[in-house]
Structure 1
Amino acid sequence: MDSQGFGTGAPLEFRYISGGSQNEIYEIRRGDQHCAMRIPPPTASADRDNGILREWRIIAALDGSDVAHTRAVGVCTDPTVLGRTFYLMEFVDGWSPMQLDGAWPAPFADDLEARKDLAYELVEGAARMSMFDWKARGLDDLGRPDGFHERQVDRWTAFLNRIKVRDIPGFGEASAWLRTHKPLDYIPGLMHGDYQFANVMFRHGAPARLAAIVDWEMGTIGDPKLDLAWVVHSWPEDTSSGAGSVGGYVDTTGMPSRTQLLERYVEVSGRQVDDIDYYRVLAQWKLAIILEQGYQRAGDDPKLLAFGPVILDSMRGAAELAATSDYGS
């Protein structure tokens, strides 16, 4: 930090915030600098250092854009400093839905009108990502946008076959449907890869304001409309009292319906969503495969064991939607 002029000479204060097998996050204070540090733990595989650099490239490219993001502060690739590649980003003064334990903070707990804007802000964040000029911001080589949809079924089926120890009901049906259906259009763009309430932060208080999209470890140049599908694939059409939750941690009572969220996306992005069923099937199918890897290595980890029913529900949902959707018929 001295060499980069970040709070030079002042005492360093830090605290651990969260982390897992892939990355750890720390709060850093030094002089007038207030940052978050993202770094792989010592036990993470060597390729996580490349992943950290990938994340850094994305948040640095987002600076100055209207996509909600943390300001890029600095990156270090010298392993003699902390042992791993890491970066510093602006510390966001806000809250994450993952901190809620199933309850919205004030005023969103009681004010259902204010709560609606949380969902609209989430979808507008996805819409703004879809409009981000990734070529002008130097992200041309971040992914392989050509043939993105043609690769999905083969790539993720091969991944599942490498880790497979059990059959997942609905996989064959959903896979066959995806092979014979494609989106109406495909406009490559910046894609988060795991876009949902769990990976955003909001400013404190009302009205709801999206503060930052975080955790870019799956970020790439692909189809940004798949990020929209991560949001709406299990979102209820009926959000009246007792309608349930999304992802098991978000109470959707009083929030906009799935149709209303799709309408807002169209309004902000200017893109069509008539092919959203294709993306919803792909999102649920892909989610089940990704979570299966964690579930198989769960051991006695309750967080990973909890993936079990989610995987089966996701694949079942993908197969059921594929069987009942009139898209492409």
Structure 2
Amino acid sequence: MTSTHIDVGAIDFGALGTWMDAQGLPGGPITGVAPVIGGTQNVMVRLERGGRSYVLRRPPLHARSRSNEVLRREARVLAALRGTRVPAPALVAAQTEREPVFYLMEPVDGFNPSTGLPEPHASDPAIRHRMGLEAAAALAELGRVDPGVLPGFGHPEGFLERQVPRWLKELDSYAELDGYPGPDIPGLRETADWLSRRLPRSYTPGIMHGDYHFANLMFAWDGPRVAAIVDWEMCTVGDPLLDLGWLLATWPSGNGHVPGLPSPQELVSYYAALSERDLSAVDWYAVMACFKLGIVLEGTHARAFAGKAPKDTGDLLHAMTLGLFERAGEFMEGALD
């Protein structure tokens, strides 16, 4: 998570104002600078200028190797989604020609449920139940967008065939970390074999969010509507049903921070009613999402052995990996039937 400290050295407000003038945006002093708290490594600040509010997103002062390219892709996606019915942050303007890349978007008028529920959501079980259905509806809306709005984006050809080998290779790469004894994940091989045997024969390419789960959604203050899908860092053109699988794999169980959500089966039925996509292999996508996310989380466990991540964090994420493979087993046994 970001901290409440703004890395002011990462933002040249004078240069920002000059650039905003060149975009034809309202002028005047930049005021009201405040951090936007969220699950991102990038700098995000809210600011005001000329009577208009914005959120600025740019890499940290000491950017990671791909930080600028990720933001360049994000800006391109948000530009492509303008004018669609997909609830996404509204892009105002982007500077992608030189580094650091940054962009301005309109603030989202909504809340993230992982930080707590406001009223009327906290008191109304019908609203909370509907929030889950609206999450499925927003995803179905994304799946309807023609991927042709993002020419050359991603590698949709052979997308599904690449998944199991790609993530097994990722898991094998952890052996390079000193001290990692190898993956102790019950069901790993069985899950990989099941996925390989049941690979869907075909799919219709579409825009994928890539990390579609409840914590990456913001909801309207006055009801269950999804105000915006956020954090588009993993977006690509692939199979949108893997986003649905990701939602199922990460779906809160029991009375989590949003009690009374619909069941996974209800999510699938609601999505199916809004989409023309073939959901006959939806269990495959849910298992694939558990498989991929479990391997991603195991990477931190492996880095902890090498002293490159805190041990308690590594242990926690390893436990989450084991839980994901258990959930994969439930999906393989027909939990969505």
Band of TM-score, shorter chain: 0.7 to 0.9
Unaligned runs of 5+ in 1: none
Is residue 129 from structure 1 mapped to residue 147 from structure 2 by the alignment? no
Q: 1:143: Cα distance to partner?
A: 0.6
Out of 290, 300, 307, the residue aligned to residue 317 of structure 2 is 307
Q: What is aligned with 2:281?
A: 275
1:95 aligns with 2:111: yes
Deviating more after overlay: 217-226 vs 298-307:
298-307
- Confirm or deny that 1:43 pairs with 2:54: no
8 A Cα contact 2:87 2:226, kept in partner: yes
* 1:70-113 superposed Cα distances (whole Å, 9 cap, x missing partner): 1111112466xxx621111111111012222xxx3211222111
Q: State the one-letter code of the partner of 1:115.
A: R
- Name the residue aligned to 1:149: 160
Which stretch shows the higher mean deviation, 11-20 or 165-174?
A: 11-20
Q: What 5-or-longer segments of structure 2 have no aligned partner?
A: 1-19
1:221-236 matched pairs, under 5 angstroms = 221-233=237-249, 235=251
What residue is the counterpart of 2:4 in the other structure?
Answer: none
User: Quick one: distance in 1 between partners of 2:189 and 2:281?
Assistant: 21
- Matches of residues 32-181 of structure 1 in structure 2 within 5 Å? 32-77=51-96, 84-100=100-116, 104-135=117-148, 137=149, 139-164=150-175, 165=180, 166-167=182-183, 168-181=185-198
Cα distance in 2 for residues equivalent to 1:303 and 1:18: 21
Assess if the C-alpha contact under 8 Å between 1:21 and 1:43 holds in 2: no
Contact 1:29 1:35 in 2 (8 A): yes
Please tell me whether residue 8 in structure 1 is matched to residue 27 in structure 2.
yes
Which 10-residue stretch deviates more, 281-290 or 160-169? 160-169
The residue number in structure 2 matching 1:200 is 217
Q: Is the 8 A contact 1:21 1:44 kept in 2?
A: no
The CA deviation at 1:293 is 2.2
Quote how far apart the aligned CAs of 1:300 are: 2.9
The aligned residue for residue 262 of structure 1 is: 268
**Residue 234 of structure 2, aligned match among 218, 230, 237:** 218
CA distance in 2, matches of 1:24, 1:308: 29
Q: Is the 8 A contact 2:143 2:206 kept in 1?
A: yes
Q: CA RMSD in A?
A: 2.3
Deviations 1:125-153 (A, max 9, x none): 11011100121x2x121111110111001
| 1:202–1:209 contact (8 Å) kept in structure 2 | yes
Shift of residue 225, structure 1, vs aligned partner: 0.7
1:321 to 309, 324, 331: 331
| Residues 249, 324 of structure 2: 8 Å contact kept | no
**Partner SS state of residue 267, structure 1:** helix
Aligned counterparts of 1:57 and 1:310: Cα–Cα separation in 2: 33
CA distance in 2, matches of 1:75, 1:285: 35
Identity of aligned residues (%): 37
CA contact (8 A) 2:42 2:59 kept: yes
> Following the alignment from structure 1 to structure 2, what is the Cα–Cα distance between the partners of residues 179 and 78?
41
Does the 8 Å contact 1:2/1:9 carry over to 2? no
Show the counterpart of 2:8: none
Counterpart residue identity of residue 93, structure 2:
G
CA distance in 1, matches of 2:69, 2:30: 30
SS at match of 1:217: coil
Distance 1:78 1:140 in 2: 18
Inter-partner Cα distance in structure 2 for 1:261 and 1:105: 23
Compared with structure 1, are the counterparts of its residues 271 and 305 closer, same or farther at alpha carbon in structure 2 (3 Å cutoff)?
Answer: same
Paired amino acid for 2:138:
G
